[in-house]
Every structure is written in structure tokens, then in C-alpha cells.
Structure 1
Amino acid sequence: MAIPSDQPRDSHVAVLAFPFGTHAAPLLAVTRRLASASPTTVFSFFNTAQSNSSLFPSDATDLPANIRAHDVADGVPEGHVFVGKPQETIELFLLAAPENFKREIAAAEKEIGRNVSCVLTDAFYWFAADMAAEMKANWVAFWTAGPNSLSAHLYTDAIRETIGVKEVNVRMEETLGFISGMEKMRVKDTPEGVVFGKLDSVFSNTLHKMGLALPRASAVFINSFEEIDPTLTNNLKSEFKRYLNIGPLALSSSTCPTETTVQDPHGCLAWMEKRSPASVAYISFGSVMTPPVGELVAIAEGLESSKVPFVWSLKEKSVVHLPKGFLDRTREQGMVVPWAPQVDLLKHEATGVFVTHCGWNSVLESVSGGVPMICRPFFGDQRLNGRAVEVVWEIGMTIVDGVFTRDGFEKCLDRVLVQDDGKKMKGNAEKLKEQAHEAVSLKGSSFENFKGLLEAVVNVSN
């Protein structure tokens, strides 16, 4: 049920976060922006206690008064003994999530004295379609990854029917030309659970059901910008009631808490000031993934033999796997730190290449900085993102043979930082950077789309 636009003060939005990986933080960033734009709307933010504690520090003073955090049970039964299988915590959470969210939403409605008028969720929550319908509320879904992976899940049945699950192993190199905008994507680039892998796992079923449910949403929005892939954008607009690119979020300062100084505890940016333009390799594989030990050694050996200046963000527990004496021998050449200010490093003129796992946030941050990439995808949407980097946008390359070797990595660094090929990648990256900045500017496509999102969530027209 739509709320009359002249009565936005009655709005109560239930925000349902996915508490794993890098999902909850961007959803909160968007919620902050919506809350600032509609100060009379209450935003109830539902998330696990563990995830909420990292998003809402006890000393935080900048949380808009109309955002209220609520803890939701993590779905782990009392006395449960973990068997150590991958995704066990995610599966337990997803199985219990529908009832847990319903219970906490009802409690929040009673506490605040307003019925929920919109359910704003991570797109994973396919069950929100029925939940919102029962509540006579809008369902607005946030896909936190890129448009290629969204298309893969939207068209899962078409891919399975066209490729054939039983024949998939001999058709991995075939392209998805039957999906508009996916003509250069191969079967082997798709996420596990679409046409290969464990198709009947809880997580695979969740993504399949999500693809079937999303066309029911009042709006689907994404952290991207229309100009990065116009064909995909137009096709997804035809599939959804409303499809809104509102990114890159990293360029929209109002999505982030105001900070007077950049957090840089290890002095990465000061070190960068002494380097030549476009000369430094920045290496990071995100918060979830670490390459196998053999590949960590290969990265270190490739850096040392290439003599390329570097900043490497590497978890402390993994530093022990680096070659003996590597840190001492490369003390002048680079730095290995447990955490780095990624967005600011990718904006720095000294950064010449980003060595990445190709998570969507990382790819978009690199695009926003105009930095070419060397891609080493591991799972999920990362292969699709890496493929887009290499053959669609031509702003980087995937690592030779898919894994790091010393010689292969050294050749990649030389190609991107030195060869004419790399200069072309840099030029293409700069063009995309300009389009990204234009998209979030006043009257840009993402700026205008955010107005559409605001309207869908609280029915406020600007």
C-alpha cells in the first residue's frame, strides 16, 4: 500500500540486513542517506547482534536519530554443535530468518506505534515478497553486487534450460549470448549454484528463489551506475518494475559518516606521497578471502623480482607464510599492513594497479579511482566481475592461468604498468572514472535514481 506523498511522517521502514561478508555496511550507508533525506521517517534496522555491534560502535555520535538498530537472532539453535562445513552459519541463519524477522518487525511496530510501510532488504531475502504483501507494504530490494551476477541469478532457469545441467562440463567455454548484455560472459564465469556446483544447497536455493521473486519488488537498486554497462542496464530495466543504479556509493560522501581525517593507522598514504604517479601496486583480497599459501609466496616473489613499489593489505595471521627475509629485503620497496584505507589508496595518483579478488565493491572502488586491475577471482560473482574487467570494459586482466605464479604475476605487472596494453587499460579506466563521477553529480543518472529510490521507500518526491 502506497503512503500518500503529503504524509511521509507516517512512514516506518523495516530494513533487513544480511549479516555476512560486506553486505550490511552498504545497506546501512544507503539507509543513512535515506534517513537524512526523510527525517520524519523511522528506519528500523534489523541485523544480528554481532553484525550490529560492528556497524554501530557504542561511541558513535553521528547516527541519524530516525535510524534504530534492532538485534535479530542468528538462527543457531541452543546447544548446536558446528560440524565445520562451509556456509553452515549462513544456512542456519537463512532457515530461521523469515520467522525471526517477522517477530522483531512486529515488536518494533508496537514499540514505535507505526505499521511498516516499506520493507527494504538485502536482495537475498526472497521471502520478503510475501512478507511485504501480507503487511500491505512495498518491498524494495538491494542487490549489493554487480549487474552481471544479478542477471545470472535472474536468468538461472534460462541458463539451466539452454546449457543443460548434465552437459555443463563440456559447455563451460560457451558464452551466454542468449541473455542481453551477457554476450561475452562464459558458462564457467557464472556463480556456483547457477548451473554447476551444489544446486540444491540452502544458499543456491536462496539465490534461485531470489531471482524468481525480484520482479515482484516495487524497486530493485544496485551500487553501480548506468553508464558502466548500458545494455545490461536497459535489459534489467525491462525485467523489473523499477531498476535503479545509485552508485558508486564510495563517491557519494553523504552515504558515509562524516570524518575529519582518513583512518590510516599504518601510514600508507604518507608512504604513497613519495612514489611516482601510477607506479605502485596495491594488493588486497577483501575481508573474506586469502589466497592459498603457495600463491602468497608467488605474489611476494613476483613483487620482489619485479621491484615494483607496493602496498599489500594482508591479514597478520598470513604474514608468517611469506618467504623468509621478504619483509626485510623489501623494506624500501613496499609495505605489508594488516589493513589499508582502500578507497583513498585507489584515489591516489601514485597507484598504478590494483591486484584484487574482484569483489564488486572493490571493482567499483577501482573504477571510481581510474585504476586498472589484475584480477584473481575465487568464487561467487568474482569471475563475472573479472571477465567484465578484462573483456567488456578492458580496464585490466585476469591472472595468467587463474592462479598466481611468480613469473605469471611479474608478467602481469609489466603488462599493466609498463606496456602499451597497460596504457590502453589506464585510458579506458580514466573514461569510466569520469562517467562514474558524472553519475553521482547533480543531475547525474545515479543522483536522479536516488530520488526514485527515496520515492519508492518513503513516497517522497523531490
Structure 2
Amino acid sequence: MESGTNILVIAYPVQGHINPMLQFSKRLASKGPRVTFVSTSIMSKSILQTEQTAGSSLNFETISDGSEDVDRKTESIDAQLERFELVVSQNLEKFIERQKSSKHPPKILVYDSVLPWALNIARKLGIDGAPFFTQSCAVNAIYYHALRGTFGQIPVEGPSISLPSMPSLSISDMPSFICDTHSYPALLKLVLNQFSNFQEANWLFCNTFDKLEHEVLTWMASRWPVKTIGPAIPSMYLDKRLEDDKEYGLNLFKPDVDACMKWLDTKETGSVIYASFGSLAALGEEQMEELAWGLKNSNCYFLWVVRESEEKKLPSNFLQETAEKGLVVSWSPQLDVLAHRAAGCFMTHCGWNSTLEALSLGVPLVAIPQWTDQTTNAKFIVDVWKVGVRIKLDEKGIATKEEIEMCIKEVMEGERGKEMKKNSMRWKELAKEAVDEGGSSDKNIVEFVAKLAHS
């Protein structure tokens, strides 16, 4: 049943932002309203495939982001962000104008929180706007404090940083943009600007769930209208209420499904290390080599995702030497791998989507965070949720093969590993409970749709 409510959703065009926002859109659509997912031209081809897999529950529209008119290989991050804001803000405004005179005028624009200017456009055109935060609430809180100047001169001196409702954080637990403000000034500005006008919104959506970040959420909810709606992963891995929702729908790389699943089927329960560092991380040659031998020396079975652009960094004889124990693929169906009984642990860069997937599927973690929010996620994985270990880097910033082997063995064989597995299973239950009927995330979505229908 489709109600008269039309919700527009726009994400920043990278896979880690689009996927959770697509999942949220599917959940919204399942409650009755019409949901229109607006993608920008750089993603239009990938989104076309999504349209086929998302079924008829969503409407897809594309607006130009100017990427078709530039050479993206030579464009700097600063120029890219500037162009995106300039072109998309103009085209989004025109698009909403057109929608307003259609049969289904939109009531609200749910926008990626890194596009705060979208709220101004929505308000100017007389519709509501709500940011969707694709990172953890803990990370969002840190950025909020940074924007307000809470840290004074960054980097913060002293052994630990204390913030309301958070565990004590060391410098290495902070998001990398905060510790190293000079490396990516444009990206630091992007993450801080999320909080430039968010207090004007009537809803703030967060891809997390109440029990996972209870303390920081309590602190945030006492100040702002925060609504948790996560984990935003396909329903068939959680509550199974949306029957056609088996995958995100957006894959920038083609996963080798058959090879992965057939290989896993031949392995014993909990015997495989799954290693993957997401769609963006690029490891140095020395790090790839240490990782390769660390996996081999652990003497466990391993399934390792090495993107085609990274393959040349593998040690020359590695694939031959590990053919008995390992499978290296260029991309994998990650949810299916983590849900497989053979998955014993997940060695990950700790991106928020990967972290939520592991928690939702009950798989312990070996954390090798690289940059941005991953370092903070790793802190929570180890010290708050107690579902994994974090690899310590040597003085050159490298995770050595000895350290990798030791961490793998701790999770796969040690006493602490059993404890982590038990904790992982508990989080899996709580994640499912949150999105299932009457759960905290489900209630928030139902309430939002009801309020819109009556506005």
C-alpha cells in the first residue's frame, strides 16, 4: 500500500555511503510511503543495476554532478568536493522544484550528513530535511566536539582524551583527520561541516542501534532528535521481514560468488579467516607482504580479498605456496561469507559498514584500521563491545607478520577468542532485535513515517 507521502533520499556517491542509505530507503518504503532515491551521474551506471535488484519498492532518479565534464584522474579532492557541491546543489534544487509540481510532491529530503547544504535547499523550497549519518555515533560525537573547539590545539597532548559518555581515548583511537589535520584538510572540513546546521533538523538518522552505542546515544538524544535506524544491512541477514532484500544492490566490483561459497562449503565450522580491507584502502607493498606471510604462518584457512589494482603487491610465489590453505579473490559477497558457518574471524580495516556486518552476523574481528573513522571503530571493537583484537603497529607503522599471526591465533584458538565469539553472538541477537518488529530501530522508522503522513 502506497501512502501519499513522498520521501526523497540523496547520498554522497561512494559505496560506503550509498549502501546504508539504500537499505534505509528500502525499510522506509516497506512502511508505505513512496521513496525516491536520487543518485548523481558518477554512480548512475551502478545504480541502474541496483534498480533491477531493489525490485519495485524504490523509485530511482539521477541528477548530474558534473563528473562527466571533468578528467577525474587529475582532479584534486578539493576541486572534486567544490564541483560536487556547486553542480549538485543547482540540479537538486531544479529536481525538487519539478517534483513539487508532480503527482507525488515530496514532503522531506533525507540527505547524507556530509551534504549539509542540502538542508538549506530543502528549506528554501518549503520541504523538510533530515541528515543521515553513515558513521558511528561515537565518531559523530568526536567531530561535533572538534567543530566546537573542545580539543583546543589538535593534536591533543597527554595520554588520553576524555569526552562525555565515551571511553577514555588515546590519540591512536581518534579519527585520523583529527590527529593529523594537515593530510586531508578538505576531508576534515567535510566531516566537521556535517554539524554546521544539523540543529535546525527535526530528525537526525544514525546507522547504529540503541544498545550498541547506548552511552553516547543517551548523551546525544538528551540534546538533539537522534533516531537510530540500524544496522542498515539487508533484511535477509537480520529480521528476514523484507523478502526480496538479500543484498545491498550496489557493487562497484563484481564478487566471485561461486568460487568463494564453494570453497567455504568444504571447510569446517569457524575454521576460516576472512580478510578484506574494503573498497578504498590501498596497502603499501611492505604491508601486503607482511600480511601475506602473517596469514600463511597462522596455518589457518584464509579467504583474502585483494582488489585487482592491488594484486601486483603480493609476494611473487605467495599464491603457489598457499594454494592448499588459501583462496585469494578480487572481490567477495561479504555478507554471505560472514554469514557462512566456516567464517571464524574477520580481519578488517574497520569501516563502519564492515564493523556493523560483523556484529550483526556474530563474527569476531582482527582490526587493522587504516584511516578516517576506522581507528575509533577499532577502539570500540576491542574495549567496549569486546569482540576482537587490534593489531599493534611497529615503529614504521607496519603490522608485522609475527603480530598478525599472534592476533589471528588469539581470536581463532585462544581462551579470549571463545569470549569474543560469545560476545559476538550476543551482539548478533541485539542487532536483529533492533530492526525486528517493535525493536528500537523499527519503532523509530514507523514513528517517522507516521509523523510525515500526518504533517
Segments of 5+ residues of structure 1 without an aligned counterpart are 1-7
Superimposed CA distance per residue, residues 225-256 of structure 1 (whole angstroms, 9 cap, x where no aligned partner) = 11112111211211222422332524254568
Pairing partner for 1:92 from 77, 83, 94: 83
CA distance in 2, matches of 1:165, 1:96: 35
| Segment of structure 1 superposing worse, 362-371 or 19-28 | 19-28
Pairing partner for 2:354 from 362, 381, 390: 362
1:84 CA drift (Å): 4.9
1:70 counterpart = 2:61: yes
Decide whether the 8 Å contact of 1:49 with 1:73 is kept in 2.
Answer: yes
Evaluate the alpha carbon distance shift between residue 212 and residue 186 of structure 1 in structure 2; reply closer, same or farther with a 3 A threshold: farther
CA distance in 2, matches of 1:318, 1:264: 16
Decide whether the 8 Å contact of 1:156 with 1:195 is kept in 2.
Answer: no
Evaluate the alpha carbon distance shift between residue 169 and residue 230 of structure 1 in structure 2; reply closer, same or farther with a 3 A threshold: closer
Q: How does 1:63-212 map to 2 (within 5 A)?
A: 63-64=55-56, 67-76=58-67, 78=69, 83-86=74-77, 88-110=79-101, 112-158=102-148, 160-161=149-150, 163-165=151-153, 168=155, 170-171=157-158, 173-175=159-161, 177-180=162-165, 182-194=166-178, 196-198=180-182, 201-212=185-196
| Segment of structure 1 superposing worse, 55-64 or 43-52 | 55-64
Amino acid at match of 1:243: K
CA distance in 1, matches of 2:430, 2:143: 27
Decide whether the 8 Å contact of 2:209 with 2:231 is kept in 1.
Answer: yes
Decide whether the 8 Å contact of 1:248 with 1:368 is kept in 2.
Answer: no
Amino acid at match of 1:265: V
Evaluate the alpha carbon distance shift between residue 204 and residue 71 of structure 1 in structure 2; reply closer, same or farther with a 3 A threshold: same
Matched residue SS, 1:117: strand
1:270 CA drift (Å): 2.2
CA distance in 2, matches of 1:243, 1:154: 17
Matched residue SS, 2:59: strand
Amino acid at match of 1:97: V
Superimposed CA distance per residue, residues 95-117 of structure 1 (whole angstroms, 9 cap, x where no aligned partner) = 4332231122223334x244331
CA distance in 1, matches of 2:22, 2:335: 18
Q: How does 1:371-450 map to 2 (within 5 A)?
A: 371-401=363-393, 403-450=398-445
Evaluate the alpha carbon distance shift between residue 293 and residue 255 of structure 1 in structure 2; reply closer, same or farther with a 3 A threshold: farther
Evaluate the alpha carbon distance shift between residue 48 and residue 79 of structure 1 in structure 2; reply closer, same or farther with a 3 A threshold: closer
Runs of 4+ in 1 over 6 A off after TM superposition: none
Evaluate the alpha carbon distance shift between residue 226 and residue 59 of structure 1 in structure 2; reply closer, same or farther with a 3 A threshold: closer
1:16 counterpart = 2:10: yes
Pairing partner for 2:286 from 279, 282, 294: 294
RMSD: 2.8
Matched residue SS, 2:56: coil
Superimposed CA distance per residue, residues 385-442 of structure 1 (whole angstroms, 9 cap, x where no aligned partner) = 0111111111111112263211111111111111112222222212211211222222
2:233 aligns with: 249
Q: How many residues align?
A: 442
CA distance in 2, matches of 1:273, 1:87: 46
Decide whether the 8 Å contact of 2:111 with 2:119 is kept in 1.
Answer: no
CA distance in 2, matches of 1:61, 1:409: 38
CA distance in 1, matches of 2:213, 2:51: 41
CA distance in 1, matches of 2:193, 2:91: 19
1:231 counterpart = 2:215: yes
Pairing partner for 1:43 from 26, 35, 56: 35
Matched residue SS, 1:140: strand
CA distance in 2, matches of 1:118, 1:104: 13
Aligned-residue identity in percent: 26
Matched residue SS, 1:14: strand
2:27 aligns with: 33
Decide whether the 8 Å contact of 2:274 with 2:347 is kept in 1.
Answer: yes
Decide whether the 8 Å contact of 1:249 with 1:255 is kept in 2.
Answer: no
Decide whether the 8 Å contact of 2:231 with 2:360 is kept in 1.
Answer: no
Decide whether the 8 Å contact of 2:39 with 2:47 is kept in 1.
Answer: no
Superimposed CA distance per residue, residues 344-373 of structure 1 (whole angstroms, 9 cap, x where no aligned partner) = 211222211100000001001111121111
1:5 aligns with: none
Decide whether the 8 Å contact of 2:137 with 2:217 is kept in 1.
Answer: yes
Q: TM (normalized to structure 1)?
A: 0.87
1:271 CA drift (Å): 1.6
Decide whether the 8 Å contact of 1:192 with 1:198 is kept in 2.
Answer: no
Decide whether the 8 Å contact of 2:36 with 2:60 is kept in 1.
Answer: yes
2:252 aligns with: none
CA distance in 2, matches of 1:80, 1:396: 42
Superimposed CA distance per residue, residues 126-156 of structure 1 (whole angstroms, 9 cap, x where no aligned partner) = 1233223223322122111111111112222
Superimposed CA distance per residue, residues 321-356 of structure 1 (whole angstroms, 9 cap, x where no aligned partner) = 212221122112010011111112112222111000
